[in-house]
Structure 1
Amino acid sequence: MRLQFILSELGIGLRRNLSMTVSVILVTFVSLTFVGAAGLLQVQVDQMKDDWYDRVEVSIFLCPDQSEQPTCASGEATGEQIEAIGAELAGEALEPYVQDVFFESKDDAYAAFQERFADEWWAEGVTADQLQASYRVALVDPEQYQVISDVFTGRQGVEVVRDQRQVIEPLILVLNRASLVAAGLAAVMLLSAVLLITTTIRLSAMSRRRETGIMRLVGASNLFIQLPFMLEGAIAATIGAALAVAGLWFGVTYLVQDWLAQSVQFVPYIGTDAVWTIAPLLVGVAILLAAISSVVTLSRYTKV
């Protein structure tokens, strides 16, 4: 009987405030979509960092002919200089830092260049002699780049020592800032959702003050009186969360995996499993929003 009464009161409240309930669902949907997008973007950034930093290399570019660097004043790196650099990379002093070393000759560099830019007209005029040899060094810890740089920067026969993270980190920085912007927008939208849920519960409580007063007179408990109002907010917020999860799933499936993954193939993209990972968080946030709004509102507007 009590359950039937609570469900009856819940249905009455949803019908009376249908437009406000729809507004709560939409605002919760938008706000939690921003929350989910910020979370997915951060997961994407972490996945990219883990994948790229594991493959990051330090490139020791050897002197080509006619370089303007002081270390290349004697011309192209000689065979003795190249062998000395290779021997030092394989030596005991750098063994704790170096995981693997690959020497790329001019011919290797030319083959890689032609493979990468095979369809570009301007690449046809490039010859192997115009490129430079290099050592590609994979580090045990990519954060230890400075050790290799200190050893080989300024050495005769070495034009420049370059860390590939210098190319990667600006992109990571942009994505991190985009994640912060999305989180900021999500916070604003969550505040809007709390205010709107609070307003909806308040209007529902005020429209049923007479019924609430009668229930007080017959000895109904606070929980019994307030439960229908709490369920109204919780149901609306949960529906909004479900829509947010569905929207994120469609976004990852069709925007990321079907479009971006085909257009830009060197990025390790997240999958729909990431959406299901954050889905419980979004539902939990929705329930928390409803709970906060209920506590703030019902203690005042269900009094008789």
Structure 2
Amino acid sequence: MRMRFILSETWTSLKRNVPMLLSVMLVTFISFLFIGASVLTQAQVTKAKGGWYDQVEVVVWLCPDGTSRSANCASGTSPTNAEVTALQKTIRNDLADVVENITYVSKEDYYKNTFLERYPDGEYQGSTMTADDMQASLWLKLKNPEKYQVVAEVLSGQDGVEEVSDQRQIFEPVFAVLNRATMVTAVLAAVMVLVAIMLTGTTIRMSAASRSKETEIMRLVGASNWTIRLPFILEGVLASLVGSVLSCVMLSAIVRVFVTGWLADTVTWIPYVDQWTVLVISPFLVAGAVLLSAIASLVSLHRYLKA
């Protein structure tokens, strides 16, 4: 009987405060949409790094035939087989604790397996390229990718080495942008959550004030504090629950349309967050919204419904 009464009072309160409750739903929706976007962005950075970041290699570009900007290539010719073998031996001896594997890629192999895949017609900047225009290279798989600088220091001064490049350097700016985007969305989310808490508290306080006579009568007939307060708390909780669930639905739609549906088809070499990621974070978003709403309602009711 008491639960039926509480639910009846909650329904009555909901019908009386539809505009304000819609505002709470909207603010909660936007707030937790930002929070979810922030979490998904950081999850994307983590997943991308975990998928291939540690698998990228250090490329040791050997001197080409002809002119080069490197002082190590003053001879104007590419290293001989003996010189390449000597360089590999140096790597194995001096970088044994850093380098896990060495792969030699000849001009012909690079032209056939890499260049022609990117430029099937063999043309680059208006010129037709051949294998002789390519550079031979050594591809180093590191035991610890963070040790790139050690490799660069040892090999940059070696004869026959034009440049030492780390593939990760290509993607660091992308990760930096994503990390900044995470920070921005997190700050916006924090501001919106604060607004949601204030709006929820104000809405519940107004609802309680508008029914002060009814609550006073309930107190006089012996109703407990929780019997009086629970309908108002449920009012705020239900509004926040709907708003947070809608934010999860929107996050799922965004991931489906723009991530797995568009980005995954456009840029295929990066692993992306998916619906499973949204499913994992959704309960936390909903629980957080409900908890914050309940706390805001309790605090706001304390002023008007003192024991």
TM-score range, shorter chain: over 0.9
**Cα distance in 1 between the residues matched to 2:69 and 2:261:** 47
5+ residue gaps, structure 2: none
CA RMSD of aligned residues (A): 1.5
Q: Structure 1 regions of 5+ residues with no counterpart?
A: none
Distance in 1 (alpha carbons) for counterparts of 2:17 and 2:144: 59
Question: Which residue in the other structure is 2:42 paired with?
Answer: 42
Q: Give 1:35's aligned amino acid.
A: I
Q: Deviations over 1:155-206 (max 9, x none)?
A: 1111111111111111111100001111111111111111111111011101
* CA–CA separation in structure 2 for the residues paired with 1:220 and 1:120: 85
Name the amino acid aligned to 1:204.
S
Counterpart code for 2:180: R
Inter-partner Cα distance in structure 2 for 1:104 and 1:62: 10
2:282 is the counterpart of 1:296: no
> Structure 2 CA distance, aligned partners of 1:68 and 1:169?
25
The TM-score with structure 2 as length reference comes to 0.95
**2:83 corresponding residue in structure 1:** 81
* Aligned AA (1:89): I
The answer to whether the aligner puts 1:179 opposite 2:182 as a matched pair is yes
Q: Contact between 2:99 and 2:141, CA under 8 Å: does it hold in 1?
A: yes
SS of the equivalent of 2:61 reads: strand
1:247 to 230, 250, 260: 250
In 2, the alpha carbon distance for the partners of 1:38 and 1:108 equals 43
Distance across 2 between alignment mates of 1:151 and 1:115:
32
Worse overlay, 214-223 or 16-25 = 214-223
Match of 1:162 in 2: 165
Alignment partner of 1:52 is 2:87 = no
**Shift of residue 151, structure 1, vs aligned partner:** 1.2
Q: 1:145 aligns with which of 135, 144, 148?
A: 148
Aligned to 1:71: 72
State the 1:280 CA deviation. 1.3
**Relative to structure 1, is the Cα distance of residues 144 and 262 closer, same or farther in structure 2, using a 3 angstrom cutoff?**
same
Q: How many Å apart are 1:295 and its aligned residue?
A: 2.4
Q: TM-score, normalised by structure 1?
A: 0.96
- AA aligned to 1:252 is V
Deviates more, 1:153-162 or 1:77-86: 77-86
Q: Is the 8 A contact 2:10 2:235 kept in 1?
A: yes
CA distance in 2, matches of 1:147, 1:82: 20
Partner of 2:267: 264
Q: Which deviates the most, 46-55 or 9-18?
A: 46-55
1:113 aligns with 2:120: no
For 2:99, the aligned partner's letter is: V
Q: Paired residue for 2:32?
A: 32
More deviation in 122-131 or 284-293? Answer: 122-131
Q: Structure 1 residue 283: deviation in Å?
A: 1.0
- Which residue does 2:98 correspond to in 1? 97
Per-residue CA shift, 1:53-92, capped at 9, x if unaligned? 222111111111211311111122322321111122333x
Letter in 1 for 2:203: T
Preserved CA contact (<8 Å) 2:72 2:161: yes
Question: Cα gap change, 1:135/1:121 in structure 2, threshold over 3 Å: closer, same or farther?
Answer: closer
In structure 1, the partner of 2:13 is: 13
Conserved? CA contact 1:77–1:158, under 8 Å: no
Q: In structure 2, do the counterparts of structure 1 residues 3 and 119 end up closer, same or farther at CA, with 3 Å as the change threshold?
A: farther
- Partner secondary structure for residue 58 of structure 2: strand
Per-residue CA deviation, residues 207-259 of structure 1 (Å, 9 max, x unaligned), is 11001101111222211110000000111101111111111111111211111
Question: Helix, strand or coil for the counterpart of 2:120?
Answer: coil
Indicate whether 1:192 and 2:195 are aligned: yes
Which amino acid in the other structure matches residue 296 of structure 1?
V
User: Secondary structure at 2:158's aligned position in 1?
Assistant: coil
- How big is each residue's C-alpha offset from its partner over 1:31-58, in whole Å with a ceiling of 9 and x where there is no partner? 1011001001100000111122222111
Q: Is the 8 A contact 2:122 2:128 kept in 1?
A: no
Q: Is the 8 A contact 2:122 2:129 kept in 1?
A: no
Which letter does structure 1 place at the counterpart of 2:222? Answer: G
**Offset at residue 121 of structure 1 (A):** 4.9
CA distance, structure 1, for counterparts of residue 196 and residue 122 of structure 2: 52
Opposite residue 264 of structure 1, the aligned amino acid is V
Q: Which moved more, 1:146-155 or 1:170-179?
A: 146-155
What secondary structure sits across from 1:90 in the alignment? helix
Name the aligned partner's letter for residue 108 of structure 2: D
SS at match of 2:124: helix
Bigger mean CA deviation after superposition, 50-59 or 39-48:
50-59
